[in-house]
Amino acid sequence: MNESYKLMFLKSNCLYFAIILTFCNSLYISAVVINRIIASIGVGDTPSGIAITPNGRFAYIANSNNDGLVNGNTVSVIDIETNKVIKTISDSSFDQPYTVTINASGTKAYVTNSNSTTISIIDIKTNSVIGVITGFDGPSGMVITPDGNTAYVNNYGSPAGVGSANATTVRVVNLVTNLIIGPAITVGLAPASLDITPNGSYVYVINYVDGNVGTGTISIIKTASNTVVGTITGLFGPYSIKITSDGLYAYITNFGSNDFSPVGRTVSVVDLHENSIVDTIFVGIQPSGIAFSPNGRFAYVTNYNTLYLGAGFTDLTPGQGTVNIIDMCTNKVLCQELLTGSSPAVIAISLDGRYAYVVNYSANSVSVIDIYDKMWLNVCK
Amino acid sequence: MKKIIWFFICSYLSISSMKVIAHQKLADVESPRFSSAFSAGYVFKNDCRFKDVYGLGMVNIITGDFVYYPWDFWGIGVKTSYWRAKGRTTFLNFCTKLEEIPLTFTVRRLLIFKNNLEFYASLGGGIIWMREKSQLEKIKMLKGIGEVELGLNYPICNHLKITTAFRYLFPRQFLGNTKIDVGGLDLRAGFELAF
């Protein structure tokens, strides 16, 4: 931990946090850093989103083209059997593609164009864009209801609208007509991501707000009425949210400030019955993406660990990207820490639970990490 | 290399035993009607995936071997064991425990020599129940198994004998699409009561 960070905590009299961070550091001494990368797949510029098809065959990567390359707005399609890019999809509708969401039937992929007002629809059979949904403002996340008919999209804000990190809305989309339905749902400032409960009753939206300690919020949307029915406070620059398959808890990564000071190092666990934060887990620097093992036992958190040193975020300085593993039974971080590429933004786990696909924002790559833990008799399952 | 060493050790023991037996004369005694033996030892496993997690093999906590001799020196028996091993998963290093209970039915040929040394050979088949448990998951399964056994008994009083046995269990079994070797070499010693 650097001195300025220590001072920040001491100044704010957060002795409790300081003690925990010290304990965390002592834990880090005993961390075992392991390199289990079995493949590194080059993709497009500054990849930021990943989704795996329901049949487990393909991964779709949104390349956000933060460097503004000509023809840099693309989606890469990876064959998971061969770990090779089999197609790079380009389309004029793409504008800083940020996330990919695939429907349950595996027929369509929805790409949020974070620098514009649209979502592009990719036909997975032909890997080509077949439609565009309009009416958003810097869409940066999408979830689909279990019946597959409706989607919720968070507007982070974009230059085409109110400006990045200035929006406060979630839009509801009819996926049959591909049209926005109903009025905008007002949530907190700068909704960064969202997830839906397994029964489809509630959508939890994490709001970045200003990225300071404790200012981030969660807006709870009841899908039956499309209204906000509650707000949870106390997050710290939230980046990703993932709800457990039993619908009891949500895990939220606290990245910290987009200005990279202060830096987040925690994952908040929210009890979805009580709608309150019940645990705070200390992980690496700038936790960003999160994914669960298929059996719901482990959470894998990517630690972005990257700083912008220059003015205007021009001097990107990535440290060593890592992945922490959280035992979800105890909410403890295991001592094994996995190496990955630089600025690991998001992560997805293969359907069989054997591999983690980590999207490395600065490295323009996807690291395939062997996460399979072998007993004797589970080896062939 | 280990396999070669074990091959030579087993070959040496087998040849030595055969030499001893070859010089013995059969005793003119009645065949026992019933014998029950209890023994313990170690089971050396063959499967390389097993060794990744548990090392060399499993402890044979106890084996019960019950034989009924309906014909002179020919018996039919039932044998069961409890084996246990502890290991670590290969990535997260979680403690993992493996328990196995083989249950086999055997046919046995017994030879009793004049110096009271008894030698037997048996052949059998049955099932093996396996349970592996760790923080990752709990797996149970049942597989078929076969066995060949050679044993030596040495009487220490009228009905009580010291018994030693070499048992090889086979074969490989399919687990999903992969074959694993559920058997191994069981070396054990104990006591036998015969009437």
Q: Which two tokens stand for residue A48?
A: 């930021």
- Say whether A377 and B132 touch across the interface (CB within 8 A): yes
Per-residue pLDDT reduced to its tens digit, A74-86 = 999 999 999 999 9
Q: Once rounded to an integer, what is the mean pLDDT over residues B58-83?
A: 95
Beta bridge partners of B161: B155, B192
**CA–CA dist A152, A142 (Å, integer):** 6
Residue B83 pLDDT more than 80?
Answer: yes
Q: How far is B61 from chain A (nearest CA, A)?
A: 20
Give the closest residue to A62 by CA, choosing from A104, A93, A38: A93
Q: Where are the domains of chain B?
A: 27-194
Listed range (A73-82, A194-203, A244-253, B21-30) with the worst mean pLDDT = B21-30
Most confident of A23-27, A60-64, A377-381, B168-172: A60-64
Does A376 contact B136 at a Cβ distance shorter than 8 Å?
A: no
Residue of B nearest to A378 (CA): B139
B73, two tokens: 């020196």
Q: How far B102 CA sits from the closest chain A CA (Å)?
A: 16
CB contact under 8 A, A36 and B178: no
Cβ contacts of residue A300 below 8 Å, gap of 6+?
A290, A291, A292, A293, A323, A324, A325, A326, A347, A349, A356, A371
Q: Binning pLDDT at 50, 70 and 90, where does residue B182 land?
A: confident
Q: From residue A112, how far is each of A50, A93, A363, B62 by CA, in Å? A: 12, 10, 21, 63
Question: What is the residue whose two structure tokens read 């309009």?
Answer: A134
Structural domains in chain A? 3-370 (2.130.10.10)
d(CA B65, CA A301): 53
Residue A369 touches partner B, C-beta closer than 8 Å: no
ipTM for the whole complex: 0.77
The number of beta carbons lying within 10 Å of the beta carbon of residue A208 is 25
Q: What is the pLDDT, as a whole number, of residue A374?
A: 87
Which residue did the predictor score with more confidence, B20 or A130?
A: A130
Residue to mutate among A326, A339, A375, A379, with most B CBs inside 10 A, is A375
Contacts of A5 (CB under 8 A, 6+ apart): A262, A263
Residue B17 confidence (pLDDT): 60
Per-residue pLDDT of B118-154, as tens digits, reads: 999 999 999 999 999 998 889 999 999 999 999 999 9
What is the model's pLDDT at position B2?
56
Determine the Cα–Cα distance for residues A102 and B106; give it in Å rounded to an integer: 58
Inter-chain residue contact B54 with A376, CB threshold 8 Å: yes
φ, ψ of residue A339 in degrees (nearest 5): -80, 150
Domain B27-194 is in which class?
Answer: mainly beta
The span from the CA of A28 to the CA of A33, in Å, is: 10
Give the C-alpha separation, B31 to B29, whole Å.
Answer: 7
Contact residues, chain B, for A377 at CB < 8 Å? 98, 130, 132, 139, 141, 175, 180
